[in-house]
Amino acid sequence: MSILYEQITQACTTIKMHARVTPRIGLILGSGLAALADELTQAAVIPYASIPGFHEPKVPGHRGELALGLMAGQPVAVLRGRFHFYEGYSMAEVTFPVRVLKALGCQTLIVTNAAGGLHADWQVGDIMRITDHIFLPGLMGMHPLIGPNDDRLGPRFPAMLNAYQNDLVPCAHAAAASTGVRLRSGVYAMLAGPSFETAAEMRMLRAMGADAVGMSTAPEVVVARHAGMRVLGFSLITNLALPDGSPANHAEVLEAGEKAKPRFAAMLRQVLAQVVN
């Protein structure tokens, strides 16, 4: 048994001692969005510190809890916050919770994040469906699949083409329409962080075809696809990343997340209600 496989098994054993449902959908809630899981029924909430292989996030807005229960009638496992590469964790550690979600029974992953919008005509509070990503740390060798591959977890060379294109896309747009949310679509670029981008970096990202930028998500999606999970991704635009704009700060990220929470929650409920496992 590989070390990773054994660690996943240990984490699942701990979680199943508390869970009241077998989850089929996993959700990752980014900065300021953890409260979206407060409405779970039949809920079991487990601090990350109690789960082998999990770490406690140090970033404000990330609670550091795994919540399992029912949302919109669907059995879900919700990661209320994530731990990040810029906190000093390896890419394997950052993506370990996704491995555990898959092992618990999740076939679908819905991932959210806070991101900077790279378009001057976008607004803080916009929601973007992620159509693709540019994983810059991964392209530079900081990749979660580097090292020995356990074929029980996924293939050695997983395809990432159309990683976000599946039967969930119409669900997302229908949910947005029914809840009055203007859903943008675009490419998400991940940088390692923790500093926000320079003006030159913002111009580079736009030239590369990115529409939003952040410091997470791409490695989690890579591992989810490696494990054979369907993926649906959303970025909440919490600041505008413009070369001639105002400097970003984390306080405004959390404030934007708080303001958008009702709309985002309503849309996610509608998405969940339409998912067929």
Domain boundaries defined on the chain:
3-274
Which residues neighbour 74 within 8 Å (Cβ) at sequence distance 6 or greater?
A: 24, 25, 272, 273, 275
Residue 121: the pLDDT is 95
Phi-psi region of 81 (alpha: psi -120 to 50; beta: other; left: phi over 0): left
Q: How far apart are CA 24 and CA 65, in angstroms?
A: 18
**Which amino acid, 202?**
M
Residue 153 contacts residue 227 (beta carbons within 8 Å): yes
Instruction: Report the percentage of the chain scoring pLDDT > 70.
Output: 96
Q: How far apart are CA 169 and CA 147, in angstroms?
A: 32
| Residue 63 labelled as part of a binding site | no
| Residue 31 labelled as part of a binding site | yes
| Residue 34 labelled as part of a binding site | no
Q: What are the catalytic residues?
A: 31, 62, 84, 86-87, 114, 215-216, 239, 250
Residue 41 has pLDDT above 80, yes or no: yes
Q: What average pLDDT does the segment 168-178 reach?
A: 94
Q: State the alpha helices, DSSP H only, in the chain.
A: 3-16, 91-104, 136-139, 169-178, 199-208, 218-226, 250-274
Q: How far apart are CA 224 and CA 207, in angstroms?
A: 28
Coil, helix or strand at residue 113: strand
Q: How far apart are CA 210 and CA 194, in angstroms?
A: 19
| Residue 197 labelled as part of a binding site | yes
Among 75-79, 119-123, 204-208, 265-269, the minimum mean pLDDT is found in: 265-269
> Using 50, 70 and 90 to split pLDDT, how confident is the model at 1?
low
| Residue 216 labelled as part of a binding site | yes
CATH number belonging to the domain at 3-274, selected among 3.50.50.60, 3.40.50.1580, 3.60.9.10, 3.30.450.40? 3.40.50.1580
Cα–Cα separations (whole angstroms), residue 256 to 123, 132, 201:
11, 23, 23
pTM summary value: 0.94
Q: How far apart are CA 23 and CA 5, in angstroms?
A: 19
pLDDT tens, 14-27? Answer: 999 998 899 999 99
Q: How far apart are CA 72 and CA 238, in angstroms?
A: 26
Selection from 175, 60, 150 nearest residue 99 by Cα: 150
Q: Which residue shows structure tokens 């997983």? A: 158
Residue 188: the pLDDT is 98
| Counts for the chain of helices (H) and strands (E), in that order | 7, 9
Q: How far apart are CA 57 and CA 55, in angstroms?
A: 6
